[in-house]
Chain A
Amino acid sequence: QKEVEQNSGPLSVPEGAIASLNCTYSDRGSQSFFWYRQYSGKSPELIMFIYSNGDKEDGRFTAQLNKASQYVSLLIRDSQPSDSATYLCAVNIGGDMRFGAGTRLTVKP
């Protein structure tokens, strides 16, 4: 089992819709969870982080964490074409930051 797993996609949503990105992780001791966005040919950039169970909202983005289920998700409301990118889930495992393979999102105008 991989340490961090994501559906590779591609995920395609129409402009204005909600995009839902999911991630599971294997290490129950993980303490912090991150979502990074990576545009084609660019380096990853941090969108959100979450440490506690529940929801965390920042503008159009909501991160959800369920430690019991070892599951973290990212919701993007009112999706825009500029949100088209690969979204990487990252989990801090004892100081090591491990990434999922990423989900490619396309938002169609």
Chain B
Amino acid sequence: GAGVSQSPSNKVTEKGKDVELRCDPISGHTALYWYRQSLGQGLEFLIYFQGNSAPDKSGLPSDRFSAERTGGSVSTLTIQRTQQEDSAVYLCASSLARSAAYGELFFGEGSRLTVL
């Protein structure tokens, strides 16, 4: 596709369940980011992948959160034992620039997670 694709667009789950959120970046984009946005808040950085380098996981809020990127393309964000405070929109973005310092981000439509 032409843009960043995320799925599911909406996910309602019960507290304690695990969820997986998927991101398919723009073809050829080497950098991939995950952010979390709570209602009325800014973007909270979660994790950043650049090419084949080790990801920057410094933004992951707890060890219940993990992410992987297979083959340098599709990424999956996994939240284990979900809590109500995990409810938010999870945004994925990708960037073409190999020199990541100058990358412009293109965002997907987000996955809205609601934990009951």
Binding site for B on A (CB under 8 A): 6, 31-32, 34, 36, 42-46, 49, 51, 88, 90, 92, 94-102
Q: Interface extent on B, as a size class?
A: 20 to 34
B72-116 residues with Cβ-Cβ distance < 8 A to A are: 91, 93, 95, 100-110
Pick the contact of B101 from A43, A46, A94, A101 — CB < 8 Å?
A94
Q: What A residues does B100 contact at CB under 8 A?
A: 92, 95
A-B pair count, CB < 8 Å, reads 60
Q: Give Cα A1 to B93, complex, Å.
A: 25
Confirm or deny: B65 has a beta carbon within 8 angstroms of a beta carbon on chain A: no
Query: Shortest Cβ distance from A3 into chain B, in angstroms?
Result: 9
Q: A46-B104, A90-B105, A92-B101 are in contact. Are A99 and B45 (CB under 8 A)?
A: yes
Query: Shortest Cβ distance from A16 into chain B, in angstroms?
Result: 28
Q: List 13 additional A-B contacts (Cβ < 8 Å) besides A32-B102, A42-B109, A97-B103.
A: A6-B42, A31-B101, A32-B103, A36-B105, A43-B107, A44-B43, A46-B105, A88-B43, A92-B100, A96-B48, A97-B45, A98-B45, A101-B42
Q: Give Cα A60 to B94, complex, Å.
A: 27
Q: What B residues does A32 contact at CB under 8 A?
A: 101-103
Can you pick out 12 interface pairs between chain A and chain B where the beta carbons lie within 8 Å of each other?
A: A32-B103, A34-B105, A43-B108, A46-B104, A92-B102, A95-B56, A95-B100, A97-B33, A97-B45, A97-B93, A99-B35, A101-B42
